Amino acid sequence: MDVTTDVGAPWLIAGLGNPGPEYAMNRHNVGFMVADLLAERIGGKFKRAGKAQAQVVEGRIGPPGPASRRVILAKPMSYMNLSGGPVNALREFYKVPLGQVVAVHDELDIDYGILRLKLGGGDNGHNGLKSMTKAMGADYHRVRFGIGRPPGRMQVADFVLKDFSSAERKELDYLVDRATDSVECLVTEGLERTQSTYNS
């Protein structure tokens, strides 16, 4: 199901993660990685966003002309479990409909590197989504980047806050690139077409 989009309103794309260099390559920070690549593609640099506890880049996605879409890229600087406050503050400031908010995040219940895009749904124990849903409701888009389950008896919290393994890193650039493509497709082509292309 595609939501009716408001062509005059921007899209808000929130890459979820934790701020600080010690978290940069963690599995939990793949949303930041996608946001960084999107910023690079649209030629922008992240800057502190006024009173919102986030860094933002404003730009356009899509071909030049009427088909391009205005986007606000955001990285909440509040730590993962408090992502909802900064994202909702930006949503209200930029007057973004909830159906044009996108959360890019790691997903334990999907194998490494698999993408799944959807609209709405539960948080599946993900603290960033839990915080966003509490702040503004559940009817936003999710780009779910599979990281797989922890091996053996490793705790989930330890697993998501560890860096990608050396084996995973061999594919990581390609997979982040593909996830970034899927965000661009979602904004310009809609959910159904993006799901048929990227929900492998």
Candidate list 28, 105, 126, 141, residue with the active-site label: 28
Collapsing DSSP to helix, strand or coil, 98 comes out as helix
Angstrom distance (rounded) from CA 105 to CA 34? 9
> Which among 82, 147, 138, 78 is positioned nearest to 108, based on CA atoms?
147
Angstrom distance (rounded) from CA 107 to CA 65? 35
Radius of gyration of the chain (CA): 16
Q: Is the CB of residue 76 less than 8 Å from the CB of residue 136?
A: no
Q: How many residues does the chain have?
A: 200
Q: Is 28 noted as a catalytic residue in this protein?
A: yes
> Which among 78, 91, 108 is positioned nearest to 13, based on CA atoms?
91
Residues identified as active-site? 28
